[in-house]
Structure 1
Amino acid sequence: MKLNGILLASIALAGFGGAAHAQLEKLSAFQKTGGADFTYIEQGGSKAEAIRRTLERITLPEGFSIDLYAIVPDARHIATGPQGIVTFVGTRKNKVWAVTDRDKDRIADEVKDFAPTLPFDIPNGVCFSPDGFLYTAERNRVLVFPAAEFFYESNDVAAFNVIAEGELIPAEEESFNHTARVCDIGPDGKLYISLGQPYNVAPKEKLDLYRETGIGGIIRVNTDGTGREVYTYGVRNSVGQDFHPATGELWWTDNQVDGMGDDIPPGELNRQTEMGQHFGHPWYGGGSVRTNEYKGEEVPVDVVMPVVETVAHAADLGMAFYTGRMFPEKYRNAIFSAQHGSWNRTDPVGARVMVSFIAEDGSVTMEPFAEGWLDAETGEYLGRPVDVGMLRDGSILVSDDLAGALYRISYAAPAQ
């Protein structure tokens, strides 16, 4: 059927995974349906100059530098295509942006909206399959765009339902908060999608429904939307996940309960070693801190505690394992993650990029990597990092939804 100039059809295909060529034949002809004009974002001027002045304040380890890569309004999660042609950026509004560095000078030349005739609803989560299918996880829908890196130049793009509107979560559970989904293709070729739950602490009367649907957890489906299962339980609101390049284990951040005080509960970085593990919510508010609502109750599940407890209310969001070759060897398979910054705290914290090193014994050490977006004197946020992605040259991108920008962090060995 046609929807606002976009060919939108349900996919009734076996997974896209390793059979992309055969699947494209089944998608039938792409029909021209007309389309809206692109919105282009100016990349220079006073806004770019102001952002660059802020970046002069950012501190990094020796040899690293940070530069403005692109002005991208409301920039949230990042997905760079397997061919390295386009970086797609989700938002918590109604746009997905396509960011292109045509001359490969490591500064974007063009930023425009992707599929402008398609009405997105909080398309925060964007992710690619290895064979070039772009997935967008919205508030209550998941779409796939075949060969998005090559078709993005047209405003008339074929989109297909993986999970149709109103079927990701029950419509009555839609909310204005905890709706920023993230997605990833796992080593098993399945699509993993986070489903934050729409409460500060999930009420008892909702627990059975949430356990069944995967709200307050992470679900996985085949890439055609079939075979839905709940992979992770006991999540409050995860907005960052990635798979360890060597072990294939799922790691993810979690935002924990508000209103318990400035210094509790901690945020979390979690490691999941098998399907069906439970990570504590709503009995735990973060780490080993019990929620007030469930404090006197016996915990009826086996709880996996976080591998790292982070600063309370720093809002740990997007994360990615580093698999590039530009950075020194110590960063290989380390986790770069974004702390968005606190709102529920007397003295603000966060607004920085963290790095976590995983030791051979499995222990994890997290430390600041890039910071300075929080003015220590005024408590003012000059930027709020959201997600971390990687370009094919091994540099990393950091999104910022306050400044509306992507930053590029690169490395050059100091002169001896």
Structure 2
Amino acid sequence: MKTWLLASVATLALGLASAATAQQQQLGDNMEKLQAFQATGTSMDFRTIEQTGDYADQLRKNLQSIELPDGFKIDLYAVVPDARHIAVGPQGVATFVGTRKQNVWVVTDRDKNRVADEVKEFAPSIEFAIPNGVCFSKDGFLYIAEQNRVLVMPAAEFFYESPDVAVGVVVPKGELVPASEESFNHTARVCRIGPDDKLYIALGQPFNVPPQEKMDLYNQEGIGGIVRMNRDGTGREVFARGIRNSVGMQFNPANGDLWFTDNQVDGMGDDIPPGELNRATGSGQNFGFPWYGGGSVRTAEYKDEEPAADAVMPQVEFTAHAADLGMDFYSGTSFPQKYRGGIFSAQHGSWNRTEPVGARVMFTPVNEDGTAGEAEVFASGWLTESGEYIGRPVDVEVMKDGSLLVSDDLAGAVYRISYEK
């Protein structure tokens, strides 16, 4: 009996493995077909997410706890599982939401009542791996920065109604970072198209503090930094170094400077080192990591090493371990004047602090000379007085009507903050 059972289990395992291999082969074939503008035969029966019912009602109830400045209100825009970084389509047709899992979601508000009517899986004929980073070019090309690949979808706002999409490979799988450095840690990429029409991607390094023997490789590849390349993947270069793990960046539309958040070193105590909001005024700058763990706080691992003489200190130091992630410049006109041209940024919330902090949206004004003003809390309440998270903001993105979207990967939602005069 035991021998028969073991044989049956082995046969089942072999069958499952064979099925998985066949599925992987099919997905690989799909990429080749899509690049040749051929149909893959993927079912039109999309996976969709229910937008009504008890779950959506409870999320709306939770939002009653969120505190905002006078005149602002927050509403549930969409139920989006594992919602991370947001890319609002330049045509205003749809919004795309990345995840740290295997899905990209496409959100559509068909009747334009500022609440999503439909949330469905985007491009189900493609297998994604941590497609966290989604960003649009002005001419409607959607870029998806995965753990170790970069894809581009021309006319994504047009093709999203089909399981098959026009797709191009910008960086082949396994070439965004060397295979030896492909990690489960700090691999949620973010991307932006710069004013130079180049593609910028932040590459978090996988360690809390990297060992010295890794530094030459990381500096060469741009790991622990930001790389840029032409939109077809050619001409790759390292734009910035000395960055631990940036999961949010955006260009200042006023002068083209690249601003980005950075997550500080863990294990140094509750109150140090601070989180960072940085400003890159040109290519080749070094932002101090790993000599500095955040702000001017030195790391124990590199305390005897001479820091880079030209290390750039952050424009803003945030509360330690609040986990500063996505950010966007406010380019709309529906918010009061004080917010125009400033920076909204999301704090995901601490994971290892004795007393939790974060889980809020911050606002940082930008001065006429391009430097940062004093940051302030804009939206809070996802962290209760008892220390319980009812949500964890990840990203913010300005919509065409001037409202602000906020993603939440704990609740699996995207919220909309608007202003009523």
Q: After the TM superposition, which residues 1-400 of structure 1 pair with which residues of structure 2 at under 5 Å, given as runs?
A: 3=27, 6-8=30-32, 30-36=37-43, 37-361=45-369, 362-376=371-385, 378-400=386-408
**Structure 1 residues 163 and 9: alpha-carbon distance in aligned structure 2, compared to 1, 3 A threshold:** farther
For 1:5 and 1:355, locate their aligned partners in 2 and report how far apart those are by CA, in whole Å: 46
Instruction: Write 1 or 2 for the structure with the bigger share of helix.
Output: 2
Q: Is the 8 A contact 1:5 1:117 kept in 2?
A: no
CA positional deviation for 1:148: 0.2
Q: Distance in 2 between matches of 1:154 and 1:370?
A: 37
Contact 2:33 2:39 in 1 (8 A): no
Deviations 1:296-317 (A, max 9, x none): 2221442000000000000000
- The one-character-per-residue Cα deviations of 1:169-199 (angstroms, maximum 9, x if unpaired) are 0011011110000000000000000000000
The residue type paired with residue 315 of structure 1 is A
Q: Structure 2: which amino acid aligns with 1:194?
A: A
2: CA distance between counterparts of 1:188 and 1:179?
25
Mapped partners of 1:121, 1:257: distance in 2 = 26
Larger radius of gyration: 2
Count of residue correspondences: 395
RMSD (Å) for aligned C-alpha atoms: 1.4
Q: CA deviation at 1:158?
A: 2.2
Q: Give the superposition deviation at 1:360.
A: 2.5
Distance in structure 2 (CA, Å) of the matches to 1:300 and 1:254: 18
Distance 1:157 1:2 in 2: 16
Q: Secondary structure at the match of 2:286?
A: coil
- 1:86 touches 1:101 (CA, 8 Å); kept in 2? yes
| 1:244-294: CA deviation from partner (whole Å, max 9, x where unpaired) | 011100000000100000000000000011101000111000000000101
Q: 1: distance between equivalents of 2:37 and 2:164?
A: 10
SS of 1:312's partner is: coil
Identity, % of aligned positions: 69
Letter in 2 for 1:349: V
TM-score of the superposition, structure 1-length normalised?
Answer: 0.93
Q: CA deviation at 1:402?
A: 0.2
Distance 1:197 1:320 in 2: 23
Structure 1 CA distance for aligned equivalents of residues 389 and 277 of structure 2: 23
Is residue 5–residue 34 contact of structure 1 (8 Å, CA) maintained in 2? no
Contact 1:5 1:156 in 2 (8 A): no
Contact 1:269 1:308 in 2 (8 A): yes
Question: Which SS does the other structure have where 1:65 is aligned?
Answer: strand
Question: In 2, Cα distance between the equivalents of 1:363 and 1:90?
Answer: 29
Gaps of 5+ in 1: 11-26
Partner of 2:375, secondary structure, is strand
Per-residue deviation, 1:4: 5.0
> Matched residue of 1:208: which SS?
helix
Contact 2:33 2:40 in 1 (8 A): no
Question: Secondary structure in 2 aligned to 1:269?
Answer: strand
The amino acid of 1:69's aligned partner reads Y
How far is 1:356 from its partner?
0.4
Task: Give the aligned partner of residue 409 of structure 1.
Answer: 417
Q: Distance in 2 between matches of 1:334 and 1:381?
A: 27
SS in structure 2 opposite 1:92? coil
**Rounded Cα–Cα distance in structure 2 between residues aligned with 1:236 and 1:206:** 13
* 1:332-390 per-position Cα deviation (integer Å, ceiling 9, x unaligned): 111000000001200000000000001224242110000000001x1000000000012
Aligned-residue offset at 1:9: 8.0
The answer as to whether partners of 1:337 and 1:388 remain within 8 angstroms in 2 is yes
Runs of 4+ off more than 6 Å: none
Give the Å deviation of 1:160: 1.1
Whole-angstrom CA distance in 2 between matches of 1:250 and 1:372: 29
State the TM-score, normalizing by the size of structure 2. 0.92
Q: What is the alpha-carbon distance in structure 2 between the residues aligned to residue 360 and residue 4 of structure 1?
A: 50
SS at match of 1:56: helix
One-letter amino acid of the counterpart of residue 40, structure 2: T
Q: In 2, Cα distance between the equivalents of 1:363 and 1:242?
A: 14
> Which 5+ residue runs of structure 2 have no aligned equivalent?
1-24
